[in-house]
Chains A and B, each alone.
Chain A
Amino acid sequence: MSETKGAPFSGSIMVVGGGISGLTTALEAAEVGYEVFIVEKNPYLGGRVAQLKQYFPKLCPPTCGLEINFKRIKDNPRIKFFTLADVESVEGAAGSYNVTVKLNPRYVNDNCTCCNKCAEACQAEVPNEFNFGMDKRKGAYLPHEMSYPAKYVISPQIIGTEDARRCKEACPYDAVDLEMEAKTIELNVGSIVWTTGWEPYDAARIDNLGYGRYPNIVTNMMFERLAADNGPTGGQILRPSDNKAPENVAFVQCAGSRDENHLPYCSYICCMASLKHTTYIREQYPDAKVTIFYIDMRTPGNRYEKFYDKIKEDQNVTFIKGKVAAVEEAEDGRVTLVAEDAVSGEKLHQTFDMVVLATGMQPTAATTKLPADLVVTEDGFMLNDYEKGGMFAAGCANRPADVMMSNQNATGMALKAIQTMVKR
């Protein structure tokens, strides 16, 4: 009988970022037997993928996987999570880090039953960041239907206003606590995995593509929300300027990516995302036409290639190899794209009802300095030094990746974190 000992289950792991990568790292480590703390800056877990309507190439809803992950968290006493939380400082070394975490006030305590009375009472509306400001939400709100934790939030914007008082008075369960203050806690952990994810690259910085100047030019993440049933239009894909159904939509690939002036690298997901968005349009509008301007279609692997093949068969979808150089205003809210067909050399002027910029991903660390001794590239990606150990980056904090690759990588980083504890 070969009975060998495994890892001793002592020491805990901190996961910074509760998006899909962070959830994966946390759950995979906790299900081995380790204690894990998740620190998430939003009031809910799930991160970027919670905003997606579907995943490519299966076209299945991300909430399906999130729901299972949330169930795994509920079932696992070894996982604790903090929302509205930021890591303020990290001291120490591999095996023993002292981490200060700031817990920002939710202004709603655990008494909340999600009865919605506070939202009904609140009159003020603020731009809804979950939908990239395309609609408004109440000052007291649940970020989305399947939010976890299922607890309402009072926006800091309404604190001190009459509305805040109205919310408090409306709550039958004494769950609104307007006196709640930020507090800091100290945690000692053996290892830290940074899964701080990404932000959509600021499309307004890409001067020649007209975002911000023309309302019917949107980003791919905005488009994702426009197509989502719980989005600003209830899932109807409509032009922002006049809420008309678009008949003719263009996708501009590499909007910011593969561009020395913006993001020099390839953002990995945008080609597949635009193909997926094409399916959203084609399912909703049987006569709509789609044109995709690309440099290379990056649909690597048999499954992605099959997805691309299926869309190529659609007569209403046109692919043009060529980078969009400029945009011009056309009649009736339409937009003309100026591009050169790289194969024929022909200069193209084509007019569309709506244009989607396939903006790339920028790692969070590119714009936010993380309070720890991490090796970050010029682009903001965190490099992993396995020799040194202790702290690791997973998912899109480490490199541009799709959900599948992020989860693969995040699973591996759970083991790297565990190894740190074993060596201790």
Chain B
Amino acid sequence: MSKKYGVYICTGCGIGDALDIEAICDVVEEESLPCKTHEFLCSQAGVDMIKADVEEGTNALVIGACSRRVNYNTFKFEGCMVERVNLREQIVWSHPRSEFPKLTEEEKQDEDNFDRVQMMAEDYIRMGMARVEKVKLPEPYLLETMSKKILVIGGGVTGMNAAIDAAAAGYEVTIVEKSGKLGGHVANWRRQLPTKPPYERLIPNKAKSLIAAIEANSKISVRTNTVVARIAGQPGEFTVTLKTPGEKIEFDVPYPLPEEMRVDESGKELDHEALIAKYKEYNEGRRDILTLDPNGELFGAVILAAGWRPYEPKADEFQNLGWGNADVITNYQFEELAARGKVNRPSDGKPAKNVVFVQSPGNGTDSDFPFTGSVTSMVALKQAKYVRDDYPDGRAYIFYQHMRTPGLSEYFYKAMQQDSGIFMTKGEVTGVSQNGGGLTVDAANTLLGDQIQVNADLVVLGTGMVPVTFDDPTVNLAYRQGPGFRDNAIFDKYADSNFICFPYETQRTGIYAAGAVRRGLNVEESMEDATGAALKAIQCLESVNRGVAVHPRSGDMTFPDFFFQRCTQCKRCTDECPFGAIDDDEKGTPKPNPARCRRCGTCMGACPERIINFADYSIDSIGSQVKAIKVPSEDDYSEPPLRILGLVCENDAYPALDIIGWQQKKSFSADVRLIPVRCLGSVNVIWIKDALSQGMDGVFLLGCKHGDDYQCHFVKGSELAGIRMQKIGDALSSLALEEERVAQFEVAIDEYDKIPDIINKFVAEVEELGPNPFKGF
């Protein structure tokens, strides 16, 4: 597509007062591009002026006005590339003339004087023109054929509800269930917690009605005694191999080599051939991830609803609670007893009329048992009610540290408090001992006294629900980065997300977890979670079908394009992609899976050969912007100003910089030039090297916080950038440049008060180092 350029400068909102607009137009005309100005460009008249040009064929527009965060749709023109140059927020408003005065007529006479703010504006216009020259309009990545079928892993209440909800929206679903029947744990329960006002009575468990609904639904097929051997490919065309549990087949997913196998005796990393040989040996009998199972079934998206297993205390655990005694059992075991009939003691089969429920492992802690969420407090209340239902003279005692019945669960708690046979107190259980035919429970610091004793027939420990992902990846992804969710150790191996705002987003596109595999959730919460996961699975399918990205760059049509001829098979893109979107073959040649990609550009930033690019975001598009920055030297001025490049995350840092302009409370150095990037992970070190070798004095990266509570929308971007910046130090010292000329800073979107100080401090430090010796070469 041939480009016809147009540059439009708004002079409103103080831009025209602060800047020499004519000089800016001269900069544009130096490039032989047409430049038009308007006093109110976002007005109808201003937009009409641009539209008239667009109708005449102008399709590559540079709009020098306000931030791209505002008037977003005003300056969107169908079929046109638009670059917004942020003259208002980041130049004029952040650098008020009261602090950065214009040159007086007299000063203008001396060519050794310069106007920092004007220089900034002229550079930004040059950078905008450079970018629009280098980018292309994206065309969507479309699969040749795609499946809109949804795979649900797990046939418990969560999986069944996900299937029913997806089917109700018109999609076909297959449920795989590892046991012989649907229903999961819930099917074995006597009763379920109330779900409707007044939330006072236990209700029949929902498994039966869900199973009936599944059986009657022609859109849902069920495979029992089935697990996932592997899921290969990408959303829209996942090739799934199913098998019976325990079976060993060639399409079992291979695992990456564990760290300890990647090194020799001396701890040195093995060479490529040796690693391949080790990998094959380690995965003996399993086909490589890139070999698609010819008999595999195609699915478009996956819902992981594989649930949990009951926590099984080890033999020597909870000795203070009498664990090991036949009449000390877990809440799960109690539920099994209760499902069979009236609750009896395991030791002698006599009625368990006095039952003590213990909610905290004690030993000085006020925590609940591990993996409990708010579920076990409610379970204790439910089971206390069983005791009362079974025996009119039965008594249930609940020792808790904190009754966790949040929200509307409080109503059931209140109802149980009304039951004269249920006793509840805060307290630490300090001992459980055999006392003739029964047990004696000692508790301290209770609401009923410092030390109390209760006789019991049975003691029930409120142990938790361990997510199945604790033991096994379960999804068995045939991905080079490995078969499971990455980094889920942060969440104690729940398949959870780190995002509060976007609870379903994980590091694996098209795979959505729901229910107790994600968090300690009760039946009602799990079922609701399933509905959300079903929506996300459908949304992913429809996005893939349109060839656009899912969250967080929803709707983005670009995708990474590899120029394979120059690939050196270094595997960095495969290793670094936060979403595991890239696989590679034995030689290390990457195989991109665009439908797995979230378009963060981390691969582009990682590639040392610079062969990965997006239509509107590339090594060249940013590199050309860097090169468009004029670096004045002593040939130009006796005391040339510094030039500092800032590569800033467009998601959080860039908006924060805008706010600095809006508030006009603090300003920052006019010698910096800022370029927004999709994510710090997409920053390629070549841009930094280019900036320094063209004489710029320093470069900083401004992006999101990393660590366990990372705020990076692409999970690992800022962390990976940090690693690259550490390594760039060596390259700089070989150029005889100080490492301090490159820095990375972490900010949150609301830290706009801090950013000017961060930037100014960095500028001062660079100034201290003195000018870049390459300046002027």
Residues of A that sit less than 8 Å from B by CB: 1-8, 20, 27-29, 31-33, 53, 55, 57-69, 72, 74-76, 111, 113-115, 145-146, 150, 172-173, 229-230, 235, 258, 264-268, 296-303, 305, 309, 321, 342-343, 377-378, 381, 383, 399-401, 403-405, 407-409, 411-416, 418-419, 422-423
Contacts and interface: CB of A to CB of B under 8 A. Distances in A.
Contacts of B408: 265-266, 381, 399-400
A181 B66 CA distance: 29
A111 B504 CA distance: 38
Contact of B14 (A7, A115, A296): A115
Contacts of B501: 20, 62, 64-66, 68-69, 403, 407
Interface in B164-190: 165, 168-172
Contacts of B494: 302
A296 B403 contact: yes
Contacts of B705: 60
Contacts of B407: 265-268, 399-401
Interface in B360-401: 366-368, 370-374, 400
A32 B539 contact: yes
B12 A264 contact: no
Interface stretch (B571-579, B655-663, B736-744): B655-663
A5 B709 contact: no
A404 B709 contact: no
B325 to A, nearest CB: 28
A65 B552 CA distance: 10
B445 A343 contact: yes
Contacts of A422: 168-170
Given A58-B709, A60-B500, A302-B491, A1 B298 contact: yes
B652 interface: yes
Given A4-B172, A296-B402, A411-B532, A309 B367 contact: yes
B374 A113 contact: no
B534 interface: yes
A268 B500 contact: no
B147 A303 contact: no
Interface residues of B, number: 98
B748 interface: yes
A20 to B, nearest CB: 7
A156 B69 CA distance: 28
A64 B748 contact: yes
A315 B387 CA distance: 42
28 contacts: A4-B148, A5-B148, A6-B170, A31-B542, A31-B551, A32-B539, A60-B748, A61-B748, A64-B652, A65-B499, A113-B13, A113-B70, A150-B70, A173-B12, A266-B408, A266-B409, A267-B407, A268-B407, A297-B402, A298-B402, A302-B491, A342-B426, A383-B196, A409-B528, A409-B532, A412-B530, A412-B531, A414-B535
A268 B403 CA distance: 13
Contact of B149 (A2, A33, A67, A412): A2
Contacts of B525: 405
Given A6-B542, A296-B404, A173 B40 contact: yes
A305 B500 contact: no
A411 B709 contact: no
A409 B527 CA distance: 10
Contacts of A111: 40, 42-43
Interface in B611-669: 651-652, 655, 659, 662-663
Contacts of A60: 500, 705, 709, 711, 748
A63 B653 CA distance: 12
A141 B553 CA distance: 31
Nearest to A418: B169
Interface of B: 12-14, 40, 42-43, 66, 69-73, 145-149, 165, 168-172, 196-197, 297-298, 366-368, 370-374, 400, 402-411, 414, 426, 445-447, 491-492, 494, 498-504, 519-520, 525, 528-532, 534-536, 538-539, 541-543, 545, 550-552, 554-555, 651-652, 655, 659, 662-663, 705, 709, 711, 713, 748-750, 752-753
Nearest to B753: A229
B447 A266 contact: no
A220 to B, nearest CB: 16
Contacts of A145: 659, 662-663, 752
**What 8 pairs across the A-B complex have the smallest Cβ distances?**
A65-B501, A412-B531, A300-B374, A411-B532, A415-B535, A61-B750, A412-B532, A296-B402
A412 B409 contact: no
Contacts of B165: 412, 415-416, 419
A3 B402 contact: no
B410 A411 contact: no
Contacts of A411: 503-504, 531-532, 535-536
B63 to A, nearest CB: 14
Contacts of B410: 258, 264-266
A357 B248 CA distance: 60
Contact of A67 (B409, B555, B655): B655
Contacts of B492: 302
Given A7-B170, A75-B554, A409-B532, 10 more contacts: A1-B145, A2-B172, A4-B171, A28-B535, A58-B711, A61-B749, A67-B749, A342-B447, A343-B446, A408-B504
B531 A415 contact: yes
A408 B503 contact: yes
B370, B373, B750 interface centre (most CB from chain A within 10 Å): B750
B527 to A, nearest CB: 9
Contact of B711 (A64, A69, A303): A64
A32 B504 CA distance: 15
A301 B519 contact: yes
A136 to B, nearest CB: 18
Given A150-B70, A172-B12, A408-B529, A6 B711 contact: no
B70 A6 contact: no
Contact of B539 (A28, A75, A173, A301): A28
A29 B494 CA distance: 27
A409 B530 CA distance: 10
A67 B406 contact: no
Contacts of B536: 28, 411
B621 to A, nearest CB: 20
Contacts of B196: 383
A408 B528 contact: yes
A304 B530 CA distance: 22
Contacts of A6: 148, 169-171, 538, 541-542, 545
B554 A2 contact: no
B769 to A, nearest CB: 32
Contacts of A309: 367
A65 B531 contact: no
A20 B502 CA distance: 10
B176 to A, nearest CB: 16
Contacts of B40: 111, 113, 172-173
B171 A76 contact: no
A30 B598 CA distance: 18
Given A303-B491, A383-B197, A404 B503 contact: yes
Contacts of B414: 264
A407 B539 contact: no
Contacts of A423: 168
A347 B145 CA distance: 73
A81 B136 CA distance: 31
A397 to B, nearest CB: 13
A68 B651 contact: yes
Contacts of A401: 407
A404 B70 contact: no
Contacts of A31: 539, 542-543, 550-551, 554-555
A301 B368 CA distance: 9
Contacts of B530: 412
A4 B542 CA distance: 12
Contacts of B66: 113
Contacts of B170: 5-8, 422
Contacts of B366: 297
A418 B750 contact: no
